[in-house]
């Protein structure tokens, strides 16, 4: 048995080991085969030719032509390197599988409960459904409900797991905001007052002075009123109970206060008296229909101005994401050292973000208390947590 190259495969030549009785031409065969050749002989068996030829019926020219054709046919059949049953298979790239995007082992790394969804950068990411006080709303279901190509926390209209609208800034929670004027945590599943110790009243808001648009026109301006919890309009601006901060603080997007007044769009401004004017996300028209969207932030009739409550306002630093801001300047990104190593602090600790994030793409400055998120290179938040303006946020109880 001898091997030689034949295009993309290896041909095993089947030798003519039987001697032809040249004088009598009684017969000829392709073979015989040794033990090593038997597998090839089995394949070529159908081409074995026994020819009885005599000087009276055949010429030597015809005889030699028959031998030549028989040997060539046996050689072709013996080329078994691409046979399915051979030692080599038809695997693409020599053993690689044909699964989309790599081997099937990639699928085994998807955590339980996770959904692979398209990301805003054209790739994919993991999404864990997130609940709000035991319920799943549109901004936490890992679906693109408004068909804008952005899902849940990637959608600028989604402001947490307690948001039931992907096409407006009002959370649209069924039964929410039943109590007009009096406010508590805007970003949980209800906007009535009392169950989380956050206290404010739209009657404290001075933006309505002079007939200007204000969060709720029907709420009369009474700057000395009590707002609940022993607080007045003035003291509520200065302090909120610890329960309010610990419960509502993580649910509040960067750039907003815990009552839904956010520093967003051209109406937002810093005032000479130290107060800040934002827009109220829950603005509604005379019929009670929500009107404020990301496209209408400049319109005071649809996104009404409000005075931000400093005591529970959540700022937005230069190297943080916030409502209306989904990119960072280049100087916010840490770079590897000259050897390509990830940056470390003075004690030698790795500065990589939590959960396997790449700090050169997902700076730790995004989130000071929990795992950073929201940019390419950031790892997925833990199961059930929500990525809110760059910070993985636990679900509200």
Q: What is the pLDDT of residues 299-335, one digit of tens each?
A: 999 999 999 999 999 999 999 999 999 999 999 997 7
Phi, psi at 209, each rounded to 5°: -60, 140
The pLDDT of residue 9: 38
The pLDDT of residue 192: 60
Give the lowest-confidence range in 182-186, 291-295, 350-354. 350-354
Unique residue bearing structure tokens 């002079």: 210
The pLDDT of residue 12: 38
Is the pLDDT score of 143 beyond 90? Answer: yes
CA–CA separation, 378 vs 389, rounded Å? 13
pLDDT digits (tens, 9 = 90+) for 65-101: 444 544 444 444 444 444 434 333 333 333 333 333 3
Q: How confident is the model at residue 336 (pLDDT cuts 50, 70, 90)?
A: low
pTM of the model: 0.68
The pLDDT of residue 146: 92
Percent of the chain with pLDDT over 70: 65
Is the pLDDT score of 187 beyond 70? Answer: yes
Is the pLDDT score of 24 beyond 90? Answer: no
The pLDDT of residue 277: 97
Q: Is residue 351 part of a domain?
A: no
The pLDDT of residue 360: 86
Burial of 106 per CB tally in 10 Å (0-12, 13-18, 19+): exposed
Give the CA diameter of the chain.
132
CA–CA separation, 283 vs 20, rounded Å? 103
Percent of the chain with pLDDT over 90: 48
Q: Is residue 256 part of a domain?
A: no
Report how far apart, in Å, the C-alpha atoms of 161 and of each of 117, 182, 314, 369 are: 17, 23, 18, 19
Q: Is residue 46 part of a domain?
A: yes
User: Looking at per-residue confidence, does 371 or 91 come out higher?
Assistant: 371
The pLDDT of residue 55: 39
Q: Is residue 100 part of a domain?
A: yes
The pLDDT of residue 91: 35
Is the pLDDT score of 29 beyond 80? Answer: no
Q: Is residue 255 part of a domain?
A: no
Number of domains in the chain: 1
The pLDDT of residue 194: 62
User: Looking at per-residue confidence, does 336 or 95 come out higher?
Assistant: 336
pLDDT digits (tens, 9 = 90+) for 30-62: 444 444 444 444 433 433 333 333 333 344 444
User: 255, 322 in Cβ contact below 8 A?
Assistant: yes
Q: Is residue 98 part of a domain?
A: yes
Q: How confident is the model at residue 123 (pLDDT cuts 50, 70, 90)?
A: confident
CA–CA separation, 390 vs 372, rounded Å? 6
Domain interval for residue 11: 1-109
User: Looking at per-residue confidence, does 55 or 360 come out higher?
Assistant: 360
pLDDT, average across residues 338-349: 47
pLDDT, average across residues 4-23: 38
What average pLDDT does the structure give for the chain?
A: 75
Is the pLDDT score of 298 beyond 70? Answer: yes
Report how far apart, in Å, the C-alpha atoms of 360 and of each of 36, 152, 226, 378 are: 60, 25, 49, 10
Q: Is residue 17 part of a domain?
A: yes
Q: How confident is the model at residue 114 (pLDDT cuts 50, 70, 90)?
A: confident
pLDDT digits (tens, 9 = 90+) for 257-266: 999 999 999 9
Q: Is residue 137 part of a domain?
A: no
Q: How confident is the model at residue 283 (pLDDT cuts 50, 70, 90)?
A: very high
Residue 308: which of 272, 356, 265, 255 has the closest Cα?
A: 255
Give the lowest-confidence range in 5-19, 53-67, 194-208, 231-245. 5-19
pLDDT, average across residues 227-238: 96
Report how far apart, in Å, the C-alpha atoms of 366 and of each of 271, 352, 357 are: 27, 12, 12
The pLDDT of residue 315: 92
pLDDT, average across residues 217-225: 93
Is the pLDDT score of 287 beyond 80? Answer: yes
Residue 311: which of 190, 198, 215, 207 has the closest Cα?
A: 198
């Amino acid at each position: 048995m001898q091997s030689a190259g034949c295009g993309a495969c290896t041909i095993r030549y089947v030798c003519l080991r039987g001697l032809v009785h040249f004088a009598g031409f009684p017969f000829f065969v392709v073979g015989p085969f040794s033990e090593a050749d038997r597998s090839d002989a089995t394949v070529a068996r159908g081409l074995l030719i026994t020819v009885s030829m005599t000087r009276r019926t055949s010429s030597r020219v015809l005889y030699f032509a028959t031998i030549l054709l028989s040997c060539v046919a046996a050689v072709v059949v013996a080329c078994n390197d691409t046979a399915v049953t051979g030692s080599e298979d038809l695997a693409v790239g020599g053993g690689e599988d044909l699964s989309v995007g790599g081997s099937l082992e990639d699928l085994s790394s998807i955590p339980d409960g996770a959904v692979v969804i398209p990301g805003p950068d054209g790739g994919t990411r993991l999404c864990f459904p997130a609940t709000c006080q035991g319920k799943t709303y549109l901004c936490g279901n890992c679906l693109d409900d408004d068909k804008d190509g952005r899902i849940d926390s990637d959608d600028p209209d989604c402001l947490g797991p307690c948001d039931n609208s992907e096409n407006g800034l009002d959370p649209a929670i069924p039964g929410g905001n039943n109590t007009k004027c009096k406010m508590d945590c805007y970003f949980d599943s209800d906007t009535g007052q009392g169950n989380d110790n956050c206290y404010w009243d739209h009657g404290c808001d001075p933006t309505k002075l002079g007939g200007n648009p204000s969060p709720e026109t029907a709420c009369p301006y009474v700057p000395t009123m009590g707002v609940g919890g022993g607080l007045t309009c003035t003291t509520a601006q200065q302090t909120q109970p610890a329960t309010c901060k610990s419960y509502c603080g993580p649910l509040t997007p960067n750039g907003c206060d815990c009552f839904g007044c956010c520093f967003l769009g051209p109406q937002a401004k810093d005032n000479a008296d130290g107060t800040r004017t934002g827009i109220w996300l829950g603005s509604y028209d005379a019929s009670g229909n929500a009107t404020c969207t990301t496209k209408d932030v400049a319109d005071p009739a649809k996104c009404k101005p409000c005075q931000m409550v400093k005591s529970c306002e959540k700022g937005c630093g230069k190297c943080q994401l916030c409502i209306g801001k989904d990119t960072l300047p280049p100087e916010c990104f840490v770079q590897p050292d000259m050897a390509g190593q990830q940056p470390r602090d003075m004690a030698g600790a790795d500065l990589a973000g939590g959960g396997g994030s790449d700090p050169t793409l997902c700076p730790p400055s995004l989130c000071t208390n929990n795992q950073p998120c929201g940019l390419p290179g950031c790892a997925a938040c833990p199961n059930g947590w929500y990525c809110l303006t760059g910070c993985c946020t636990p679900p509200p109880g």
